[in-house]
Amino acid sequence: MTNRKSGKSLLRLVSCHPFWSPVSMAMRQTPLTCSGHTRPVVDLAFSGITPYGYFLISACKDGKPMLRQGDTGDWIGTFLGHKGAVWGATLNKEATKAATAAADFTAKVWDAVTGDEVLTLAHKHIVKSVNFTEDSNCLLTGGNDKVLRIYDLGKPEAEPQEIAGHTSAIKKALWCNNDQHILSAAEDKTIRLWDKNTKEAVKTLSFDASVSSMEYIPDGEILVITYGRTIAFYSAHSLDLIKAVDAPASIHSASLHPEKDFFVAGGDDFKLYKYDYSTKDEMESYKGHFGPIHCVRFSPDGELYASGSEDGTLRLWQTAVGKTYGLWKCVLPEELSSENSEALYCPPAEIKA
């Protein structure tokens, strides 16, 4: 993997041309397309903001999770070692460690700077979810054997702590409430809140459909979940419902903006939807993928959101369309010379990162 400290990443600047008329000027969303995977992208996660920017990891059924520069989508490296589809991937806040969950009955911990495999954690069935504690010292896993496991990464030879209770495969498991509790979503159509110390379920939510995704927002302790066509927001402390929105299609994933102004969601109809969080009104929708959207997440600075799809690509979308950021550059009409002014009336080409 390339050394992020060398600064050798290729930066390409792209113009995001407005459609302009004397009456009005509107901007068109132009996503960055990140290629490289050969099968569906099923999970993605951002790191926190580091001195070297922030980073993005993707999990794919091709068994080759990839690390990218978060704001540009530039490929940094591929983690090689799994022998089956990778269902889950995560980075710690500092982007020094990565973890992956796979169909080869293992979870792996990686050095995210060198790309080296650090640990292989054997399981009894397919692993679907991995999540670090805030201090990166423990890893939480969940999967098809219905058991949550907590690994002390400082004692790799020690047996993990186990928490049982779900009656079907676990799809997602996350630390919450300063790592004192665990949230888990399973195919038994429940979400459960567990006390880490007692290993007992504090509260259980039941749904009429299997939960397709779950995001935890530490600031405000908000839980974002999707099931069927519903995007719902709950208190991560009490699991009380805050609000819910029904989308036009079955939704597989949703993400709340860090400032909680709006949220995005994607699913079966290949579209990304953006909603106002306060009013629940649909603000806009975009179609860029050529297959169902499996995962979507906002970047830690809220400037963009990433989506992963059945079509094997990741796409990066601007939160504020037309703003100069990353590879996007806004070129206003008065900045364009007469010889290229016709570009104002041409749709921008798809951009590949």
Is 112 part of any domain?
A: yes
Per the model's pLDDT, the better-predicted residue between 76 and 156 turns out to be 76
pTM over 0.75? The answer is yes
Q: What is the pLDDT of residue 7?
A: 37
Distance, first Cα to last Cα, the chain: 17
Is 344 part of any domain?
A: no
Longest dimension (CA), the chain: 70
Q: What is the pLDDT of residue 176?
A: 95
Q: What is the pLDDT of residue 5?
A: 40
* 332 pLDDT tier (thresholds 50, 70, 90): low
Give the gyration radius of the chain's Cα atoms: 20
- Could you read off the pLDDT of 285-321 as tens digits, one per residue? 999 999 999 999 999 999 999 999 999 999 999 998 8
CATH number where 101 lies:
2.130.10.10
Q: What percent of the chain has pLDDT over 90?
A: 81
Whether 28 and 347 have beta carbons less than 8 Å apart is answered as yes
Is 237 part of any domain?
A: yes
- Could you read off the pLDDT of 232-282 as tens digits, one per residue? 999 999 999 999 999 999 999 999 999 999 999 999 999 999 999 999 999
Range of the domain at 273: 32-318
* pLDDT value at 18 more than 90: no
Q: In degrees, to the nearest 5, what angle opens at C-alpha 304 toward C-alphas 302 and 308? A: 120
Q: What is the pLDDT of residue 177?
A: 93
- Could you read off the pLDDT of 274-288 as tens digits, one per residue? 999 999 999 999 999
At residue 208, φ and ψ (nearest 5 deg) are: -90, 0
> What DSSP designation does 6 have?
G
- Could you read off the pLDDT of 195-231 as tens digits, one per residue? 999 999 999 999 999 999 999 999 999 999 999 999 9
Q: What is the pLDDT of residue 330?
A: 74
Q: How many domains does the chain have?
A: 1
Q: What is the pLDDT of residue 319?
A: 93
Residue 125 CB contacts under 8 Å (≥ 6 apart), including other chains: 105, 143, 144, 145, 169
* pLDDT value at 180 more than 60: yes
Q: What is the pLDDT of residue 346?
A: 32
43: left (phi over 0), alpha (psi -120 to 50) or beta: beta
d(CA 147, CA 199): 11
Is 346 part of any domain?
A: no
Q: What is the pLDDT of residue 349?
A: 39
- Could you read off the pLDDT of 37-55 as tens digits, one per residue? 999 999 999 999 999 999 9
Q: How many CA atoms lie within 13 A of 48 on its CB side?
A: 13
Pairing mode, strands 14-16 and 328-330: parallel
Q: What is the pLDDT of residue 26?
A: 55
Q: Bridge partners of 50? A: 53
Is 2 part of any domain?
A: no
Is 23 part of any domain?
A: no
Per the model's pLDDT, the better-predicted residue between 16 and 119 turns out to be 119
Is 7 part of any domain?
A: no
- Could you read off the pLDDT of 150-172 as tens digits, one per residue? 999 999 889 999 999 999 999 99
Q: What is the pLDDT of residue 340?
A: 45
Is 98 part of any domain?
A: yes
* pLDDT value at 352 more than 70: no
Nearest in space to 69 (alpha carbons), one of 119, 9, 28: 9
Nearest in space to 245 (alpha carbons), one of 218, 256, 236: 256
Q: What is the pLDDT of residue 17?
A: 38
* 29 pLDDT tier (thresholds 50, 70, 90): confident
